[in-house]
Amino acid sequence: MKKIAILGPIPRDHIVTHQGHLIQKWGCVTHPVIALSIMAGDQIEIVPVSHLRQVDLDNVREVFNGYKGINLKHIGTRNDQGDIISLRFLDMNNRLERQTGFMDPIVPDDVKKLVDCDVFVFIPISDYEISLDTLKFLHKKSKGIVIFDAHGPTTACLTNGERQRKFWIDRDQWLPYIDVLKMNLEEAHASCFKKEYETQDFSCPPEEEVDRVALREFATHCISKGVKCVYITVDSRGCLVYYKVRGEVREEMVPAVPVNNVVDTTGCGDSFAGGVGFGLLQKPRDYIGAAQYGNALGALRTQGKTFTVFKSLEETDALIRSTYASSI
């Protein structure tokens, strides 16, 4: 049976949506783990890897109760630390964030019994949650595909609890140990930095502006450092995919799965990463097919406040076929 690990925090989230609705739930790792379980839990083994506060352990285990294929042996409370986060959405994509609890980092010792996994999906939400030594360890000991979300290294938690975007300055130390790099536009701007800035240079371009030339140059740099595929999500438009074919970097836009009513976007990026992981678990070099699974799970995640938004594999495949019929 194929095996996929999902690594990162399981934060206790307090969310106010862009529509003013209050949602309290467990986030991050829970989204892709439960999405994959609903999709294919009787066909694959899904291993969440996370650190929690002792007081939260039973509640988190209960969240996963009843879902097929989930191995909970790698959720621990060794240092009694876990993430606690408040999110207030200003609109569908932008939010104010504050953090008052902090998970201790995932280190090589946490994955030494998981080197047989076919895919590792790292979804850190802050820059301290995944140790670089962990990726180096897997690079040396495992043949599994390493998918890494840049949300973590481009996000810092300040001493007043505010969570702010930061440059991923040591990016090139990480890239050789990442097979698939995933990020959104804001994270791409924080990863594609200049060697020197003037004050006026620090303003980010509007989110609706996509500089395809700059993004391609950035993706090409990542691929030159050893990354096999770069995904950059561009909100409701879809996902830009960069990978090498016969020595040349290819760029493709995979359109988003359309949705009529967005209820809650929390966990969309995590769900997208899980969908990519599932796609590559089936076909390790089908980066476009994996993006379609990512788009599907991300779109489904927006449709409600609970995990019931996710669908069976048959229903998810049907959604993908209906969206991408002309390209399949």
Q: What is the pLDDT of residues 259-279, one digit of tens each?
A: 988 888 889 999 999 999 999
Q: What is the pLDDT of residues 147-179, one digit of tens each?
A: 999 999 999 999 999 999 999 999 999 999 999
How large is the average pLDDT for residues 233-254?
95
pTM for the structure as a whole: 0.93
Which residue would you say has higher pLDDT here, 210 or 136? 136
Which residue would you say has higher pLDDT here, 205 or 268? 268
Give me the percent of the chain exceeding a pLDDT of 90.
Answer: 80
pLDDT band at 208 (very low <50, low <70, confident <90, very high): low
Average pLDDT along the chain: 93
Assess whether pLDDT exceeds 60 at residue 328. Answer: no
Assess whether pLDDT exceeds 60 at residue 207. Answer: no
Q: What is the pLDDT of residues 81-127, one digit of tens each?
A: 999 988 888 887 778 888 989 999 999 999 999 999 999 999 999 99
Instruction: Report the amino acid identity of residue 270.
Output: D
